Amino acid sequence: MASLTERPGKTGTSSYTVRWREAGSRQRRTFRRKKEAEAWQRKAEEIEEAQRLGMPLATSTQTLRSTLDQEWPRFLARRTSEVSPATVEKHEWAYRAWIEPALAYRKLGTITPDDLRAILEDARRAGKGVDTRIAIYQTLNMLLDNALGKDGHRCRAEVTVGTTTRDRDINVLTDRELDRLVAATPRQHRLLVDFLATMGARPHEALGLRTRDIDDGYATLTSQKKQARGRTSQRRLPLPASLHTGLKTHTADMNADELVFGVTDLRNWRRRVFAPAVGKAGLDETIVPYDLRHTCASKLIRLGKPAPFVAKWLGHSVRMTLEIYAHLFTGDLEDIANVLDRPRRSPSPAPPPPSGRNGTRPSLGP
């Protein structure tokens, strides 16, 4: 069986050596950190067990010896071919800001659920919300999945951080607050803020809108999120009259392929334009561009539109609509009981049995 031995060093620090048997020969590997050595020992035990049972190894030891930083380019190349640039950017940010400083030079076989928990806890202590922690969780797990397979590590199975634990409240602006925000926004950017709040578009959908996408009173929104079989998600929505007029005037002299709003960097726009306008309007500083989408959804729900209609307008599933906005679908259970109620009638007496010609009951048999 794989063994772990500790060897005290001259400077007071210890080294840890894992020994195991693989392919008929003894193997040895030394680590400076005990938890890395323990993680490798578990991997070595799995290797020995697979060999004993005559089963193929789930992951080669060569891969296990690769560092996270060596695996990162392969993972990034694969994700770039699968998902939108915005998703790739999210992976890059999570890796550079949180994962790389902690685990970049760690061997894949030594990364444990405790390592992931430590990074998530660091993010929480730094005041980062659940969206940031989900990005970290997904990026590291998918990176390990790509290298080791889903059964080759335990981070996904033993660490939990999900959308059901969101701790950020949804900010919904009133019509008066929205008017203040639009008025506080620089004139050349007001139409973008108005479009986001009125149409409920995702920010990247609005920024990707081109002049040709506005036609005959409709706007065609394209999501960067790739769907099944490589299809992109598009929806064509009718424009409210006042917004349509503003867009026609704005795009009158623009080319068909020109970006309607001329903004290409959402983060820069949020920091340089949107956040100062929020402060100038006297609104909560936690408001972000995506809250304009929540504002649109809230208005649709207040108008009494059912969840399937709201989901179709926003471009996502009914399930997601209910997950995010369930608390906005208000209703009184007593009212529902009243609607389901109906007058009950007393049961009619059973009709008398039929009688024969002479008034007697007919015979049922000999």
For the stretch 147-192, pLDDT in tens is 877 766 778 878 877 544 344 567 889 999 999 999 999 999 999 9
Domain membership of residue 214 (yes or no) is yes
Other Cβ atoms within 10 Å of 222 Cβ, number = 17
pLDDT at 16 over 50: yes
Final residue before a domain boundary, out of 28, 57, 86: 57
For the stretch 82-135, pLDDT in tens is 877 888 888 999 999 999 999 988 888 788 888 899 999 999 888 887 788 888
| 257 shares its domain with 191 | yes
Domain housing 88: 68-165
| Tokens describing residue 291 | 């809250």
Cα 166 → chain centroid: 11
| 208 shares its domain with 156 | no
Instruction: Say what the pLDDT of residue 184 is.
Output: 95
Domain membership of residue 134 (yes or no) is yes
- CATH number at 160 reads 1.10.150
- Rounded percentage of the chain residues whose pLDDT exceeds 70: 75
In the chain, what are the helix, strand and coil shares in percent, each to the nearest 5? 55, 10, 35
Half-sphere exposure of 200 (CA within 13 A, CB side): 22
Instruction: Say what the pLDDT of residue 227 is.
Output: 44
Other Cβ atoms within 10 Å of 296 Cβ, number = 21
The helix (run of H) or strand (run of E) holding residue 149 is none
| 189 shares its domain with 110 | no
| 263 shares its domain with 295 | yes
| 189 shares its domain with 322 | yes
210 pLDDT band, cuts 50/70/90, is: very high
By mean pLDDT, which of 40-49, 253-262, 340-349 is the weakest?
Answer: 340-349
**What is the C-alpha separation between 306 and 325, in angstroms, rounded?**
12
Q: What angle do CA 178, 184, 186 make, to 5 degrees?
A: 120
Return the SS3 of 202: coil
| 190 shares its domain with 321 | yes
**What is the C-alpha separation between 275 and 269, in angstroms, rounded?**
9
- How many domains are contained in the chain? 3
Give me the mean pLDDT over the 326-336 stretch.
61
What mean pLDDT value characterizes the chain?
80
| 246 shares its domain with 288 | yes
| 247 shares its domain with 141 | no
